Amino acid sequence: NIAHAELIEETLNETSSQFELKHTQRLSEALILLKQENFDVILLDLSLPDSQGLEGMTQLKEQVQTTPLIVLTALDDRNVAIQSLREGAQDYIIKGDLEAQDLIRSIDYAIERHRKEESLRHQAIKDRLRVKMLENIRQSLELKETLQTTVEEVRQFLQVDRVIIYRCGNSNSGEVMAESVELDNNRQSSEVKVSYFPFNSILPQACSIQAIDDVDYQAELNDEVYALAAQEIKAILTFPIWQRKFLQQKNNNSPLSKNPEKFLWGMLIAHNRNLARKWQEWEINLLKDLTEQVTIAIEQSELYTDLQNAYQKLQQQANLDSLTELGNLRQFEETLRYEWQRLMRDGKPLSLLMCDIDYFKAYNDTYGHPTGNQCLKQVAKILKQTVKRPGDTVARYGGEEFAIILPDTKAQGALFIAQTIQSKLEKLAISHINSKINKFVTLSIGISTMIPRQGSKENIIVEAADQALYQAKKQGRNRIVS
């Protein structure tokens, strides 16, 4: 009742100035007040006009699950008071025995215990999210997947409308890398876009953590906050995502970077569009830790991408003839083996052309090796220009000899390719004064066409094409034999 409330307030004022007391006479009024304000501790009289016994405590715990609760009870309600402790109350006080120091001690104990419990709860949440992030980083090197998991976890943790990871770009532009949105029954996912978000407005502040509890309240302070209010954003939390300097050379697209050891990669943004909210310090600290994990994920992903690119480049170099930039013998053998097996399954033909520059030793002896290398490049260029299908392969077989793999190509098609090559070489007219058959460089070509049979090996088509090339040489060179 009012008398008890006044007594408690008087007692607190006489012994301590650290507490501010607000009281209501009915449970229903208390429930409304608790929706409007946050309190460190609740003193509940178990004898209210609209609530008797543990009923009121149950309703309070449903609404404010973590706020510590101290019950006030009469002398004859001791058993009920003890039961309230079992139900989750921090302490109980007998109204008839109310002493100032006991009341202060009980409140201090409830608040301190609550703080410790909250600290443990926050640490458990922090550890769970960190472990999940680390597991995701270990299990997936796909940056998009890691970032998507992050925004979903953060949105669930904060219980906000939307969480975005935004990557900064040149000239204040950028890209949304991941997004998690709370949808209601009236909105479909396809209708939810981030185009409304004023990224450019918050970029100038992106190098520091920004926490705005109520955008409307601060909208008159600057244009950046006003831009948020114009998009009906009520509360917003932003964290910079940094990248270390050793990756900056490749990714220096950040418009903002004051620290020489790192540069701004992007931002993690969480916001509500309907309700203001008080961002808690422990929430901010937790998300600060998570953004550091995001930084690790980004760097790991980009290093892995660099490693993949380097490996692919090495693979290309391992399969490439450095002089002509055609495939080398290794690529020829791997491709021929693959196509032989594939066409064996499909029952389709495979054609192979073996090409050899006539009297190339004499050419080298006459013009020198640098000019000989230039001749090889010119012939290789003709081969590449003639063989245009993506599935075809041109390779330097060795020395002045070249090989052309033509999958799903009949003998007539292979002959047409060979004739076109010789025609182009003739038009190029590379001088060869010591050729015994022509005053220009010429090419002998052997062709073999087969449909691979079950149990056969690809070397039989190589032997057949090589034998055809031998016959072309034997018959006078500068000719095609199939």
> In the CATH scheme, what is the homologous superfamily, with its name and number, of domain 329-481?
Reverse transcriptase/Diguanylate cyclase domain (3.30.70.270)
Q: What is the pLDDT of residue 113?
A: 82
Angstrom distance (rounded) from CA 300 to CA 133: 13
Residue 306 is predicted with a pLDDT of 83
Round the average pLDDT of the chain to a whole number and report it. Answer: 82
Q: Can you give the residue ranges of every domain in the chain?
A: 2-117, 141-184+195-309, 329-481
Structure tokens at 364: 């080298």
pLDDT of residue 76: 65
**Residues of the chain falling short of pLDDT 70:** 1-7, 9-17, 75-76, 78, 96-100, 133-134, 136-141, 170-173, 183-206, 218-227, 229-230, 245-261
Identify the pLDDT of residue 172: 59
Residues 164-196 pLDDT 10s: 998 887 655 678 889 998 866 444 444 444 555
Strand partners, 240: 267
* pLDDT tens digit sequence for 243-273: 875 554 455 444 444 455 678 888 898 888 8
Q: What is the amino acid identity at position 306?
A: D
Of 224, 283, 400, 458, which is the active-site residue?
400
d(CA 328, CA 178): 43
CA distance 368 to 361: 10
- What pLDDT shows up at residue 191? 41
Q: What distance in Å separates the CA atoms of residue 392 and residue 383, rounded to the nearest whole number?
A: 11
Q: What pLDDT, on a 0 to 100 scale, did the predictor assign at position 416? A: 97
Residues 369, 25: Cα–Cα separation, whole Å: 105
Cβ neighbours of residue 319 under 8 Å, at least 6 residues apart? 327, 328, 330, 331, 334
Which amino acid, one-letter code, is at 187? R
This prediction has a pTM of: 0.52
281: left (phi over 0), alpha (psi -120 to 50) or beta: alpha
Residue 339: active-site member: no
Pairing of strands 401-407, 393-398: antiparallel
Of 270, 193, 184, which Cα lies nearest the Cα of 235?
270
Task: Write the pLDDT tens digit of every residue in 341-398.
Answer: 999 999 999 999 999 999 999 999 999 999 999 999 999 999 999 999 999 999 999 9
CA atoms within 13 A on the CB side of 99: 5
Domains 2-117 and 329-481 fall in the same CATH topology: no
Q: Which residue has the tokens 């230039």?
A: 374
Q: 206 Cβ partners below 8 Å, 6+ apart?
A: 168, 238, 240, 256, 264, 267
The answer to whether 448 and 472 have CB atoms below 8 angstroms apart is no
- Is it true that domain 2-117 has CATH number 3.40.120.10? no
Fold for the domain defined by 141-184+195-309: Beta-Lactamase (3.30.450)
DSSP three-state, residue 245: helix
Q: Which residue has the tokens 């791997």?
A: 334
